[in-house]
Chains A and B, each alone.
Chain A
Amino acid sequence: MYIGRFLLLTLIIAIAFLSQTSCTPKQQQFEWQIPPGFPLPEVPANNPITQAKVNLGKALFYEPALSGNRAMSCATCHDPAHAFSEPKALSSGSTGKILQRNALALVNVAYNSNFTWAHSGLSSIEQQMMIPLFSESPIEMGLSGQQYEVIKRFQTEDYETLFEQAWGDKTITLDRMVKSIASFVRSLTSFDSPFDEYAYRANDDALNESELRGLDLFFSERLECFHCHGGFNFTQSSKHEFQPLDLRPFHNTALYNEDGVGSYPLRDQGLYEQSLNANDMGRFRAPTLRNIEYTAPYMHDGSVATLRDLIQIYADGGRETGVTSPIKSPFISGFELTQQESDDLLAFLHSLSDKKFINNPSHHAPINPPKVN
C-alpha cells in the first residue's frame, strides 16, 4: 500500500518536473544564483521571474531615459561598484533636489519583508518602486505626469524586441517596465563572502583569527549587534520560501534626541512619519550588513562617514544627545572595546564582502545599451 502511495507521489513530482522542462519556453527560465542550502526568495505570483524580464529590467535600470528629464537612471543612486548604493550622504533627484535619505544597497532585496529605510506598508519591490518613480516632493525620477512621454522613448526596435522576449508581445507599458526592473533587482543575490564560506559551507579556514574574534564579538550579548542585524541577511527583515512571517523589525537608532523625549529632526522621523504611532519615532529598518564595506556613508541620513565611526557610536550607546534618548533601542546600551577588538569587529564586517557580487559583469550596465528615442 505504501509502495503504491509513493509511486503516486513519484509520478506527480515527475509530472511537475516535466511540465517545467517541456511546457515553459526556454527563454522564460531563470536560474537563481543561490547556493545549495539557502532558501529561495518569495516571488509575487503576478510577476514570476524569468531571464528575459531580468535582461529587460537591467537595460531599463541603467537607462537615463526612464527619468522624466533624462537626467538620471536607477543606477545613478544605486551604483553596482557600491553594492548598488551611492557614496553620498543623501542622493539627489533628477531635478537636483536633495532627497530625504541615503540610498540603500540593493543586496538580497528579494528576501526583504519590508522596504526602504522605514515603511511598513510596502510588501514588494514593485510597490516600493512607485516611490522613486513618481515621488513629487522631492522629485526623484520625475515620472509623474510624464509616463506616456517616457513610454514613447522606449518604442524602438531594440526595446520592442526585449519586451517581446520578456512579455510575449511588443507592447510597452509602465506596469511591464516596473515588473521587469523589479525582476532585475530581485536577481541581485549575494552569498559568496568569506563569511558565507565559513558559516554555510563549513570551511574553517575561510576566516582569519581577527575575523573570527570579530564574529564572536558581533554575536555576543555584550555588543548585541545581532539583535537588530539578525538572520542570514543580517537584517531581521527577511522572508523566504520557508519563512513567511513578518515581525515588524524597526528600531530607534539613538542618533538624535531633539527634545529630551527622543524626537528626531523633522526632516526625517523614521517609521513615525508613516504610522503616526509615537512608539515609532526614530525607528528604522536595520539594513543588511552584506557588502557593508562598500556602502558608506551609513545610516538613514548618511550622517556617519565610516564603519569605524559607526562602531564608536554604538560603543557610546548613541550619538551626542541620542545617548540619553528615552526611546532608543534597548540594545544600544553601549559597550567598551579595546583597539584590538574594534579592529577585529571591523575585520568581521569586511568579511561580509562578496567581491564576486561587486564585480559580476552580469549585474553591470549593458556595454551596448538598447536604443531609445
Chain B
Amino acid sequence: MPAFNGACMLLRHIISLDACKMSVADNYYQVLFIEENVNKILYLPSALSLQKLSKSILIGMTAMVLMSCAEDTTQDHLSKQKSIQQQLLTKVVYGEHALTCDNEFIHHNILWQANSLGFFLSNFEMREEQSDTWKKISLEVNDWQTPDTALLWFVANCGAKEGFNKTLTLNLPLQDKQSFTNIAQLRFSMSVPFEVNHANPLTQPSPINLAEMFWSWRLGHKFFRIDMSTMDQPNKTAIWNFHLGSTGCSSASSLRAPVKECEQSNRNTYTVNVGDNASNLLMLDLKILLEGINANRETSCMFKAEQLSACNNLLSKLRHSSLFRIAAKKSKDLSNTSQESGQ
C-alpha cells in the first residue's frame, strides 16, 4: 500500500513519530503509530464505506478522532526530556567463557549447545552517582524492542545473518554532555510486564507477538528460554530445558487472560553497576544458573507438575545478583566477543 507507507514516512519526518504503520481490512483502516513511546492504534472506517460521504466529512471525522488522541498525549509532551541513545551489546557467557557462535559451551566437562536461547528484559531504569532517584529508561522501538520491553535472541548458527538480536538500544535520560558511564547503576527486569504479558498477541507489536516466546493467554510469555542438548556421548543425546514465565495464573481457559497477577509472577529485577570503568557489554552468566545441576531431562524445568523441585532450584538461582553484569573496559569478557565471528 504505497500511499499508506508514504503517508507514514512523511508523518515520521514531520512530527517525529517513532513508528507509523497503516493498513486496511474489511471495513476499517488501522493506523498504528508510536509517539513518545506510547503505542496508539486508531481504527477508522474504511474509504469504501465512506465513499458516499463527502471528502470534507471524512477529513473532519479523522480530525476529531486524532484530536482526541492528541489530548491523551498532552502529559507525555509536558514530561518530554532529552535523551541520549546508547547501544548495549549483550552476550551469554559461561563463567569466563563466551558461548560460541553456535551457542556451544562446556558444562560439567560436557559440550552443550543451546538450540534455543532468548530472554525478555523490561522496565529499564538508571540511577546517577550521588542520587537515589531511579529514572525510567525508554527503549528505541524496532523489531526487537517496544518502548518498554526488549527480546534478546541468540541463534545457534555461525552463518546466520538475521533472525537474532544481541543489541539493546536505550534512550537514556541524560544531559547533552553526559554519557553511559555517568550512570552509577542500571536496573531492569527479566520479564514481560503484566499489562501486556497476557494480552492477545495479535494486538501486540513485535517482539511481543513472537510465538517462540509465548505460552498462552493464561500464562503469558516465556521470560527466559533455553533448550540445550549434547551429543558428547556416542549415539546418545541428552537435553535440558528451562522455560521461565509466570505460574499459578487463573483464568477460564488457556486462551483467556487472568485479570490479576499470577500467584508466582517470577519476575526478577537485576541491578548492575555501570560507572566510569564500564564497557557497553551486558552479560548473562549461564554458569550461575547451571551451578550444581546435572543437566538432563529430569532436571529440566518447563513448569510441569513433576518438575517442581527442579524449578524451585532454578528460581533460587535466578535471584542471584550476579546473573547479569556489565563488563569492565579492557576486561577479558570483551576479548571473548571476537569468538562470535558469525554473528
Contact = CB atoms under 8 A, between A and B. Distances in A.
Contact of A241 (B2, B23, B227): B23
Contacts of A153: none
Interface stretch (A57-65, A170-178, A245-253, A293-301): A245-253
Interface string A232-248: 10001010011111111
A14 B66 contact: no
Contacts of A248: 155, 157, 160, 163
Contacts of B77: 2
Given A2-B70, A219-B215, A245-B163, A36 B28 contact: yes
A8 B15 contact: yes
Nearest to A231: B211
Interface residues of A, number: 68
A148 interface: no
Nearest to B239: A330
Nearest to B238: A326
A131 to B, nearest CB: 23
Contacts of B32: 242
Interface in A325-371: 326-327, 330, 333
Contact of A34 (B26, B144, B207): B26
Nearest to A326: B237
A16 interface: yes
B74 A2 contact: yes
Contacts of A138: none
Interface size class of B (residues with CB under 8 A): 35 or more
Contacts of A10: 59, 62-63, 66
B182 interface: no
Contacts of A330: 115, 227, 229, 239, 241
Interface stretch (A37-45, A72-80, A180-188): A37-45
B7 A245 contact: no
Q: Is the interface of B mostly helix, strand, loop or mixed?
A: mixed
A40 B25 CA distance: 7
Contact of A36 (B14, B22, B43, B70): B43
Contacts of B106: none
B206 A245 contact: yes
Interface string A193-229: 0000011100010000000100110111110101000
Contacts of B21: 241-242
Contacts of A40: 23-25
A9 B13 CA distance: 11
Contact of B302 (A14, A198, A216, A221): A221
A38 B43 CA distance: 13
Given A200-B202, A330-B239, A215 B253 contact: yes
Nearest to A236: B211
A289 B212 CA distance: 16
Nearest to A33: B26
Interface string A11-30: 11111111111010000010
Nearest to A280: B157
Residue among B25, B73, B229 facing the most chain A CB atoms (10 A cut-off): B25
A199 B255 contact: yes
Contacts of B25: 32, 34-36, 38, 40
Interface in A272-286: 277, 279
Given A6-B69, A244-B143, A326-B237, A11 B59 contact: yes
A36 B26 contact: yes
Interface stretch (B47-55, B166-174, B260-268, B320-328): B47-55
Contacts of A33: 26
Contacts of A260: 235
Interface of B: 1-4, 6-7, 10-11, 14-15, 21-29, 31-32, 43, 47-48, 50-51, 55, 58-59, 62-63, 66-67, 69-70, 73-74, 77, 115, 143-144, 153, 155-157, 160, 162-163, 200-207, 209-212, 214-216, 218, 227, 229, 231, 235-237, 239, 241, 243, 252-255, 297, 302-304
6 contacts: A11-B59, A16-B22, A38-B202, A200-B202, A216-B254, A277-B157
Interface of A: 2-3, 5-21, 23, 29, 31-40, 48, 198-200, 204, 212, 215-216, 218-222, 224, 226, 230-232, 236, 238, 241-249, 260-261, 277, 279, 326-327, 330, 333
